[in-house]
Amino acid sequence: MSFRVQSVVFPVAGLGTRFLPATKVSPKEMLPIVNKPLIQYAVEEALSAGAEKLVFVTSPSKRAIEQHFQTNVELESALSNSGNKKMLTLVQNIVPSSVECVFVQQEVPLGLGHAVLCARAVVGEAPFFVHLADDLIRSDTPCLKQMQQHYARHHSSVLAVEAVPNDRTASYGIVSVEKEPSGVQRIDKIIEKPEPEEAPSNLAVVGRYLLTPAIFEQLEGRGPGAGGEIQLTDGIAGVLRHEPVHALLFEGTRYDCGSRLGYLKATVEYGLHNEEVGARFQKYLKELTKKI
Ligand code: G1P
């Protein structure tokens, strides 16, 4: 049987400044798309890839995420008393009991690379996923599962990538790749948020990484990079000097829910696919577009 990646790291300690004041008290990962918070979509994707350990790297002031994955006795007894079985089942099954949830504190927000390093002791010496919940991906096969399948064949780190417009490179980690005879795209360069004239291509890393533990050695003691933060990208640049790191052009549509426009697009599209309200929402949108 092929090796299955067990741990998924969710860095959720960011400040979510682009969504203030909504994120003043509630973390951006708790913003809902229709009726589920972003972090729950993230967890469902991880579970569908067979993950058994969910590691949330959070900040001391962000209790809501932890609470979302804990039992809420008061709510459950209220739903039970009112006979609302449907909602009771829903809140009781957010995470199966066989799955371990671990909360690690990132005391100071020093960057994504630092957040991943905070999970080192919990992840141990095995390959693991990093999932950024504000990149929401809608696909037939969940993106992490596509990456798991790639790992089963090639046993290397793999990053999900997509082509972005040339003038958007400064918002992403950008890679250049070499195509191997097997068809696999091996990354030969990765740079965090380069200006278009410095970008080695327009292939951007989206928020899904499958990394070997070699990343920890590369992040340990690393100083700040782009934006004054300890960057995961810089750690990966170190890894690819010693081990293959692949790029995977995943199947699916990504919504950048860290931006207002991306968040609105996701809300509309997930709304259209929603079992309960999708058909009525579509009718409403059709009428609305006639007026605008
Ligand atoms: C982070 C990473 C970047 C990656 C992006 C994907 O940036 O540092 O390399 O391309 O996520 O969403 P952030 O969006 O947190 O600034």
User: How many Å lie between the centroid of ligand 1 and the Cα of residue 206?
Assistant: 7
> Ligand 1 in contact with 258 (CB < 6 A)?
yes
d(CA 203, CA 161) in angstroms, rounded, equals 6
Residue 266 has pLDDT above 60, yes or no: yes
Residues 273-284: what's their mean pLDDT?
96
Select from 126, 78, 131, 70 the least CA-distant residue to 103: 70
More confident residue, 25 or 209: 209
Which alpha helices (H) appear in the chain, and where do they start and end? 38-48, 64-68, 73-81, 85-92, 112-118, 120-123, 143-154, 214-219, 232-239, 260-272, 278-291
pLDDT (0 to 100) of residue 244: 96
pLDDT tier, 114 (very low <50, low <70, confident <90, very high otherwise): very high
Cβ of 11 less than 6 Å from ligand 1: no
Atom of ligand 1 nearest to the CA of 173: 9
CA of 97 to the centre of ligand 1 (A): 31
**What is the predicted pLDDT for the residue at 72?**
87
Question: CA of 269: how far to CAs of 110, 138, 166, 247, in Å?
Answer: 34, 10, 25, 27
Q: What percent of the chain has pLDDT over 70?
A: 99
User: Does 70 have pLDDT greater than 90?
Assistant: no
CB of 136 sitting under 6 A from ligand 1:
no
Segment 246-269 shows an average pLDDT of: 97
Average pLDDT for 68-73: 89
Angle value at C-alpha 47, between 42 and 52, nearest 5 degrees: 115
pLDDT value at residue 141: 97
Contacts from 194-201 at CB under 8 Å and sequence distance 24+? 194/169, 194/170, 195/169, 195/170, 196/166, 196/167, 196/169, 196/170, 199/166, 199/169, 199/174, 200/174, 200/175, 200/176, 201/174, 201/175, 201/176, 201/177
Residues 6+ apart with CB under 8 A from 210: 5, 127, 128, 129, 144, 147, 148, 150, 151, 157, 158, 159
- Reply yes or no on whether the pLDDT at 3 is more than 80: no
Q: Rounded to whole angstroms, how far apart are CA atoms 103 and 12?
A: 10
Q: Which pLDDT tens digit goes with each residue over 85-106?
A: 999 988 888 888 899 999 999 9
Check whether 73 has a pLDDT greater than 70: yes
Q: Is 236 in the pocket of ligand 1 (CB under 6 A)?
A: no
Measured CA angle at 213 (ends 161, 41), to 5 deg: 50
pLDDT tens profile 152-203: 999 999 999 999 999 999 999 999 999 988 889 999 999 999 999 999 999 9
Distances in whole angstroms, Cα of residue 233 to Cα of each of 125, 185, 270: 20, 17, 30
Amino acid making up residue 23? T
Cα dist from 182 to 76, 104, 179, 185, whole Å = 52, 39, 8, 9
- Does 1 have pLDDT greater than 70? no
Task: Judge if the upstream peptide bond of residue 142 is cis by omega within 30 degrees of 0.
Answer: no
The dihedrals phi and psi of 266, each to the nearest 5 degrees, come to -65, -45
pLDDT for residue 137 is more than 60 = yes
pLDDT category, 227, cuts 50, 70, 90?
A: very high
**pTM of structure:** 0.94
Res. 208: pLDDT tops 90: yes
